[in-house]
Amino acid sequence: MQETLTALVDSNKLFREGLKSLLSDTQFKVGFEASAIGDFGQGSASEEKPELILVDLPSDPENRFEDLERLRAMLPDARIVVLTSELCSERLASCFAAGIDGYLLKDISCDALLESLRLVLLGEKVFPTYLATLIVNNAGQTSLPPRRKLEGHKLSEREIEILQCLVEGNSNKVIANRLRITEATVKVHLKSILRKIDVSNRTQAAIWALNQGFSSGTQEGIGAGSVQ
């Protein structure tokens, strides 16, 4: 398993220690930690740059999103994931506008966190399902079946989008281009979908989706993933 050099930024040292312990036996090797974003860039220019940064933002300072933008400019190739206690759609939007790749709550389960970080490395954008639902509703997406019909299967918003694409007969390549993710990410989601709805292939999945009320008309995706 290839290691991913990871940085932790959080003012709470106890939380950082807990996160380091959680990640110790995974591909995410913690090589840098700090209490604030401003601590980045103070080392040697020859130091190895992190591939993944897990960061919490202070609740009060007005320039917290500017700090994220500076971090993105400083490390353009790194994946940045905000770990926060605040469930706020406006804050989410500001974070993504600053260039982050994920927005997760600190009460997320360990397994869901690790799965989300792997998706981020594949090029996925991840954030809580509740916020994803708000975005979908605000965007006026109306051709998908009521969420309550799908709740028992625990499908994420991204998986629902991919099911819609299957109903329309899209190939993995088309789905990837349409949702702005990689084909590898599409395959990961398809495997999860088949397991959750207990079918064997994409054709059966499309038929299942039609039976659940999906429309075969063209539907534009929102281009963002989510986690349970």
- Domain for residue 30, yes or no? yes
- Domain for residue 81, yes or no? yes
List, for residues 66-91, the tens digit of each pLDDT value.
Answer: 888 888 888 999 999 999 887 766 67
Task: For the beta carbon of residue 94, count every other beta carbon within 10 angstroms.
Answer: 16
Domain closes at, from 121, 141, 168:
121
Task: Enter the DSSP assignment of 146.
Answer: P
Can you give the pLDDT at residue 201?
81
Can you give the pLDDT at residue 215?
62
Note whether 162 and 113 are same-domain residues: no
CA distance 218 to 189: 20
The mean pLDDT value for 200-205 works out to 79
DSSP string, 4-68: EEEEEE-S-HHHHHHHHHHHTTSSEEEEEEESSGGGTT-S-TTSPPPSEEEE---SS-TTHHHHH
Query: In the chain, how many domains are there?
Result: 2
- Domain for residue 219, yes or no? no
Backbone angles phi, psi at 9, to 5 degrees: -130, 110
Which pLDDT band holds residue 188 (cuts at 50, 70, 90)? very high
CA atoms within 13 A on the CB side of 198: 2
Which pLDDT band holds residue 123 (cuts at 50, 70, 90)? confident
Note whether 55 and 91 are same-domain residues: yes
The mean pLDDT value for 152-167 works out to 86
- Domain for residue 31, yes or no? yes
CATH number at residue 89: 3.40.50.2300
Q: Please state, for a pLDDT cut of 90, what percent of the chain lies above it.
A: 31
Range of the domain at 72: 4-121
Task: Enter the DSSP assignment of 149.
Answer: G
Note whether 86 and 140 are same-domain residues: no
Instruction: Confirm whether pTM is higher than 0.75.
Output: no
Note whether 93 and 55 are same-domain residues: yes
CATH number at residue 198: 1.10.10.10
- Domain for residue 218, yes or no? no
List, for residues 18-33, the tens digit of each pLDDT value.
Answer: 999 999 999 999 999 9
Domain closes at, from 121, 151, 184:
121
| Residue 115 clears pLDDT 80, i.e. is over it | yes
More confident residue, 58 or 130: 58
Note whether 57 and 105 are same-domain residues: yes
Note whether 162 and 186 are same-domain residues: yes
Can you give the pLDDT at residue 139?
42
Can you give the pLDDT at residue 82?
93
